[in-house]
Amino acid sequence: MATKLSRFKVYNFRSIEESDWIETADNSCLVGTNEAGKTNLLIALWKLNPANKEPIVPLDDFPRHLYSEYKAGNHKEDIFISADFILEDSFSEEIAKRLKCDQEQVKCVLVERKYKGEHVISFPYSQIDEYPVSVLQDLYSKFQTDLTGNEVFTKEPKELQDKITSFLSEQVNKFPSDTFSKDLVVSLKDEAIAFAEKNFGKKQNLPNFFSRNLLKHLIKMKDAFDGKPVQSTEEVDKMILEEIPKFVYYSDYGNLDSEIYLPRVIEDFGREDLSESARAKARTLDVLFKYVNLSPKEIYELGNESKTIIKKLNHQGAVVSTEEKELSEEEIRDWADKKRERGILLRSAATQLTQRFRKWWLQGDYIFDFQADGRHFRINVSDSLRPEPIELEGRSRGLQWFFSFFLVFLVETKEGHTNTILLLDEPGLSLHPIAQYDLAKFFRKLSEDNQLIYTSHSPFLVDMDNLANVKAVYIDSDNGRTRVSSNLRYNEVDAEKSIFPVHAALGLTVSDTLLLGCLPVLVEGVSDQIYLSVIKRYLIGKGFLNYSKEIVFIPTGGVKGMGPVTKLVTSRDDQLPYVLLDSDNVGKGYKKSLLTGRYLDEKERVLEVADYLGDKEYEIEDLLPADAIIEIIDRQYRPDEYFEDFYTKDEPIVDQIEAWAKKNGVQLEDGWKVDVARMYLNRFDKLMENIPKEMEDKWKEIFDKLIS
């Protein structure tokens, strides 16, 4: 696993006073109205570690209404962006060795940046609540292997060897089945010290071996449980800054024009006072010329028959000075060779670009052509339907956007496509809806190698299969702050306009089920959709679910939303969709109304969770392994009493979580169930490793019913 961005937070940056912590996945989407702060969130994150060395400009970036205090208040020391990164395993292991701490303490690093450009690296999450038992198993297995193969052990009498082997076996037998806490580590450490004192006498090699290879690691674990602070070093800070991903940001401002005036480009490349939009355009031009392996100055000079000293222009574009000189015969021949080389380079670059572009763009086969003529550089495009070359500007704005983004991504990531996070501001806004659908699919593929965060208010770019990682960005009417929420339910007053794209996307998804012959299943909420999609993914992966149609779980925003959605889904034929309800009081009440009304003749299509678990107020969460949800709850909320100690087996888990939270003063925000479901989805591979056969059979029973 590569180093990944886990979450980020923005402070006093442009319109944002202080954002919420924004959790990120492989593919995250921020939806919201204009002026909600989506763009500023991305720009702040970009400037944490930009791939193109984008500068921090306090005049643009510090909140305008506070700028008078910037210098007087020494605000250049202010942190404007904080981000948590989960480090790659081998790298965190190396960091732990250098900082002489346990690896678990440095798996997550906090990277921040000040307005003056300085980075701040820290490890604030050094307190570990629990470890997976595999950590102890690996430690003892390695220790025993190293010990029995070392002469400090082999040269000892067999009686002592047997004592040591027996003692280690006794310790291993004390390991729990899943996770362990501080008490076990302290007990193992004290027992090992006592054993050494009792059995090793005045020996030195054996105690030293135990100390270096076993006790040292147990002590580090104890320190982690105690939350012993981990102090970074200058060397480690440098290593981390080299390891964390770089950010590539792109917006419409950087779209290329078809005809580029070279003297202006050369002048802009030498200026440091460009506006943000001009800087974005210059950046895209820079990657274009890097791609063709020629500088604009070379192209300009090679396009003239006389030796020309480049014209100097003032800010209004007027010529200030110029000088030309006739060339000798030898210089002319040399010039001709260089121009020929330039032509070959441009044709070669255009051919390579055309081939690579076809792998990305699904809306047609385009052929690109680069032309340089005197002071101008032109980009022409043709295709099979229109074989004559046309200027890029003569094509759609959607093609201009995608072509420009493609170049920036290709060059700034150096075609490695790894260790880079893409930040896209309103991507594909000018694309046709079908092309936006294709772009959303492309994002899904792109995020397999690069984390992706994009903003949108287009329903065509809201991926309903990735709804767990869609966030609503809106302005809190009480304090004017930019808020970010995973709660996409209808009862968020301030967020309602922001999440309109999600509601619209829901309608489009329903339309898809009609047009494409999918199997729609109505569920109450987003968390239900996530969990059932996870189960579907598991069954498909195990080969238990082979079905020609796509099974689409449609969240309706509670039972009140099911009526309208049912009408949408049944508009092409008379067959009603399946409904899967929670078995709480609301779900049971709605089931009764369905069975005596709309579903009177199709009662078998109304399902509830209790049909598969027993007659209690079970919800969709009870279909999942309780241990996995318990682990997420105890990681997310940390009062004095662990939920694991509060939980009663086989009782409805949602009711227990709410009761535990009330008892311990834990504030469960609206949408907490969606947050937990999203965390479950993002840890799918780990949490779905050892599913009990009994639970697996229940899942198969539910899906067999749906496709019967």
Question: 119-122 and 131-132 as β-strands: parallel, antiparallel, unpaired?
Answer: unpaired
pLDDT for the residue 489: 45
Q: Report the distance separating Cα 363 and Cα 394, nearest Å.
A: 16
Q: Report the distance separating Cα 27 and Cα 502, nearest Å.
A: 16
Q: What is the sign, positive or negative, of the torsion defined by CA atoms of 272, 277, 278, 279?
A: positive
Higher-confidence position of 657 and 178? 657
pLDDT for the residue 141: 92
3-state secondary structure of 193: helix
What HEC string does 307-318 produce?
A: EEEEEEECCCCC
Q: In one letter, which amino acid is 528?
A: D
pLDDT for the residue 490: 40
C-alpha separations of 488 from 32, 460, 534, 658 in Å? 11, 17, 19, 20
Higher-confidence position of 311 and 537? 537
Range with the poorest average pLDDT among 326-335, 485-494, 516-525, 555-564: 485-494
pLDDT at 515 over 50: no
Side by side, the strands of the sheet bearing 606-608 are: 551-555, 519-523, 578-581, 606-608
Q: Which of 41, 109, 118 is CA-nearest to residue 79?
A: 118
C-alpha separations of 180 from 128, 176, 194, 222 in Å? 11, 7, 21, 12
pLDDT for the residue 333: 79
What is the average per-residue pLDDT within 190-195? Answer: 93
What is the average per-residue pLDDT within 636-643? Answer: 83
pLDDT at 97 over 50: yes
pLDDT at 415 over 50: no
Q: Quick: pLDDT tens for 145-166.
A: 999 999 999 999 999 999 999 9
Q: Report the distance separating Cα 682 and Cα 686, nearest Å.
A: 9
C-alpha separations of 92 from 106, 205, 419 in Å? 6, 30, 16
Residue 628 CB partners (closer than 8 Å, separation 6+): 680, 683, 687
pLDDT at 314 over 70: no
* Confidence tier at 323 by pLDDT (50, 70, 90): low
Domain boundaries, the chain: 131-226, 252-397, 517-708
Q: Quick: pLDDT tens for 24-41.
A: 988 888 887 777 788 999
Q: Report the distance separating Cα 375 and Cα 299, nearest Å.
A: 8
Q: Quick: pLDDT tens for 284-307.
A: 888 888 887 777 877 777 665 555
- The backbone torsions φ and ψ at residue 571, rounded to the nearest 5 degrees and listed phi first, read -75, -20
pLDDT for the residue 501: 47
pLDDT at 99 over 60: yes
pLDDT at 414 over 80: no
Helix (H) or strand (E) holding 592: helix 585-595
Q: Report the distance separating Cα 214 and Cα 140, nearest Å.
A: 8
Percent of the chain residues topping a pLDDT of 70? 84
DSSP state string for 7-37: EEEEEEETTEEEPPPEE--SEEEEE--TTSS
* Confidence tier at 514 by pLDDT (50, 70, 90): very low
Residue 458 CB partners (closer than 8 Å, separation 6+): 428, 429, 436, 501
* Confidence tier at 575 by pLDDT (50, 70, 90): confident
Q: Report the distance separating Cα 88 and Cα 108, nearest Å.
A: 9
* Confidence tier at 510 by pLDDT (50, 70, 90): very low
How many C-beta neighbours within 10 Å does residue 657 have?
Answer: 23
* Confidence tier at 482 by pLDDT (50, 70, 90): confident
Q: Which of 339, 404, 392, 342 is CA-nearest to residue 367?
A: 392
Q: Report the distance separating Cα 224 and Cα 226, nearest Å.
A: 5
pLDDT for the residue 339: 78
Q: Report the distance separating Cα 309 and Cα 301, nearest Å.
A: 9
pLDDT at 484 over 80: no
- ∠ CA 371-375-377, nearest 5°, is 30
3-state secondary structure of 258: coil
pLDDT at 143 over 90: yes
Residue 551 CB partners (closer than 8 Å, separation 6+): 518, 519, 521, 536, 703, 706, 707
What is residue 50's DSSP assignment? B
pLDDT at 1 over 70: no
Q: Average pLDDT of the chain?
A: 81
* Confidence tier at 134 by pLDDT (50, 70, 90): confident
3-state secondary structure of 270: coil
Q: Quick: pLDDT tens for 336-368.
A: 787 788 788 888 888 888 888 887 776 678 898
